[in-house]
Structure 1
Amino acid sequence: MTGSFWWDLLIGIGGAVVLAWLALVVVLIIARPRGSLLREALRVLPDLLRLLRRLAADPELPRGVRIRLALLLAYLALPIDLIPDIIPVLGYADDAIVVTAVLRSVVRRAGLETVRAAWPGTDDGFAAVARLTGLNAAER
């Protein structure tokens, strides 16, 4: 391409990073909650963060669940996001989508009752979490 090995390597790595980022954004778009669920996820996000911290510290949960939760908390704590937070609405929506996807897997693995016992918010907030995780009223 450029005739210089180092420039070619740098361009190749840069292209790979851009492609990986685009792939992750596409996954976020596919995994996003439908309809008003994204708005609900943003509304209960503070309670969700407290829930995640409590569940990650629970020694009775399977190790795989706790590892997922710890990785999620690390992702949320890092200043680097898939979509920068300076972009209105979308910047915080990616965090809500990632939290929702991980929470779905946690509820399916650990059980709804475990999550309910650790929930720090209101009953309405927990109902929103149940909708976000794909559970209907019959399962609760």
Structure 2
Amino acid sequence: MTAEQQEIGLSDKIAATVQAYIDHLNGGSAEDIVGLYAEGATVEDPIGSSIRSSRDELVEFYGIITGLDSRDATLKWTKIAGDTAVFEFTLVTGTAGMKFEITPVDIMTFDDEGKIVTMRAVWEQSDLKQL
């Protein structure tokens, strides 16, 4: 297999993982989302916050989102190059009769199997809107 063929294969794996990430934000469990991550992966969400690096920390982090009354994630666009994907999505969540919307840009790197190695989310508190 040529380097170009490997690149195409990885790009397809990355695209599938990004879509699965959005799908799991919509209806999966914290375990489903964390299952997309490689062993030893890190999450920095948002950039500048503490880096989560253990499986337990990732499950706890995504458990906050998956524990909400409602959630609706919509992928807006994705760019993939090499082992990296950058994508924007809108996430509308609901809890206790209130709804919130945020549109982060995530930067993820991946291993050869298409598992997430690093995730960094670009957003700040002022991006969180109450609907």
State whether TM-score is above 0.5.
no
Structure with greater contact order relative to length (CA < 8 Å, sep ≥ 6): 1
Taking structure 1 as the reference length, the TM-score comes to 0.27
Give the structure with higher Rg (CA): 1
Greater share of helix residues, 1 or 2? 1
